[in-house]
Amino acid sequence: MNEFEDLLRYAKHVAEGVNKVIADLVKGDPKDLYEASMHLIKAGGKRLRPLALTLAGRMYGLSESLGIKAGASVEILHNFTLIHDDIMDKDTLRRGVPTVHTVYGTDMAIIAGDLLFAKAFEALTGLINYSIDPGRIVSATKELSWAAVTVAEGQALDMSFERKVDVSVDDYITMVFKKTAALFKSSLVIGALIAGAPEDEIEKLTEYGSDIGIAFQIRDDILGLVGDEKVLGKPVFSDLREGKKTILVIYALSRLDDEGRSELLNALGNREASVDELRKAAELIKSTGAVEYADQLAEKYIESGLQALQSTHPVDEEAKEMLRKLALYITQRKY
């Protein structure tokens, strides 16, 4: 039996609910705009952010169905960021399908992202129709704004790092906290806020979400180097081709001699580089022990995140246990 079987069964159940809420919310005229907006959402995805939101809400007494309704907001916001990121990164493949701007053109992809952005806020403020304390909805919407601001800052940092040679590990952690961890953290916080959780519990979930989000991105960096295209749903080495300062690249640059450094820097961000050249760059990175370093760093964040989760006092222990498993699952750690 797969150790994540029960988690994945519940994730599927939540995803089905979230998909219905989104399909109901993201429809209208003009048709092509709504098609473009739903393109990536329909291509799949595990809806892990709504799952995290629903579980955090359940921990403090929120019903699953309200969690799912609120969860649509973070999933929609996530998809908006992916559409705009793909434009900027010139990515052509995502979740195994052509990206929105590849199919509908850049202009339509910009608007489709903007539409989803607005719909994310519509999803949250629409909760006013279900006897939820309005003060909690405002707090949750404020948190969603914070996440959107922070993700934009993270995306700008990520871009600026592509042109910067001396990115430190601290810079990297700040960037991935903003770009990746913030929305995961906010998903948990929004669930807890709507449930009316006490402030100190929300702080613990904030720590759990931040740490696990960072660990997730570190693992993602590793996968981008050693993973295979079919599992990733996008071309391998695309991080290298785009000149991304992944944790592996940062570590390797700090360890290589001058010759190795310039070899790696020459391959990085070179969109004309052949797969063979990229493979050589990847081998160079691995030779420094970067993968092992990154693995240990991820491990440190997972430990810290799980400890924060452990210290919570929820009313629903089953939800807490599923969040523990979720952390292990998304960071791909063995039990």
Position 107 contacts its own copies (CB under 8 A)? yes
Among 32, 200, 283, 318, binds its own copies (CB under 8 A): 32
- The token pair that represents 74 in the structure block: 């973070």
Of 23, 24, 130, 134, the one binding its own copies by CB under 8 A: 134
Question: What whole-number distance in Å separates Cα of residue 23 and Cα of residue 21?
Answer: 6
**Residue 30, interface with its own copies (CB under 8 A)?**
yes
Tell me which of 126, 196, 233, 269 binds its own copies, using CB under 8 A: 126
Asked if residue 266 binds its own copies (CB under 8 A), the reply is no
Total residues binding its own copies (CB under 8 A): 43
Q: Which residue, 96 or 134, is less far from its own copies as judged by CB?
A: 134
What distance in Å separates the CA atoms of residue 191 and residue 203, rounded to the nearest whole number? 13
For the chain, the helix, strand and coil percentages under 3-state DSSP, each to the nearest 5: 75, 0, 20
> How many Cα atoms within 13 Å fall on the side-chain side of residue 44?
7
Select 59 or 108, whichever has its Cβ closest to its own copies.
108
Structure tokens of 316? 């629903």
Of the candidates 52, 74, 108, 205, which one interacts with its own copies according to CB under 8 A?
Answer: 108
128 touches its own copies (CB under 8 A): yes
CA distance 68 to 19: 9
Should residue 35 be labelled a site residue for its own copies when binding is judged by CB under 8 A?
no
The answer to the question of residue 121 lying near its own copies (CB under 8 A) is: yes
The token pair at 19 is: 């998909």
Is residue 92 within the footprint of its own copies (CB under 8 A)? Answer: no
**To 5 degrees, how large is the angle CA 119–CA 123–CA 125?**
110
Tokens of 73: 């907001």
Among 33, 103, 223, 265, binds its own copies (CB under 8 A): 33
Q: Cα separations (Å) of 302 from 182, 231, 308, 324?
A: 16, 23, 10, 10
DSSP-derived pairing of the beta strands 93-94 and 97-98: antiparallel
| Sole binder of its own copies in the list 3, 5, 16, 135 (CB under 8 A) | 135
> Applying CB under 8 A, does 118 fall inside the site for its own copies?
yes
Nearest to 8 by CA among 227, 220, 322, 219: 322
Per rule CB under 8 A, is residue 111 in the interface with its own copies? yes
Query: In the complex, which residues of this chain contact its own copies (CB under 8 A)?
Result: 28-30, 32-33, 84, 87-88, 107-108, 110-111, 113-115, 117-119, 121-122, 125-126, 128, 133-135, 137-139, 141-142, 144-146, 148-149, 152-153, 155-157, 159-160
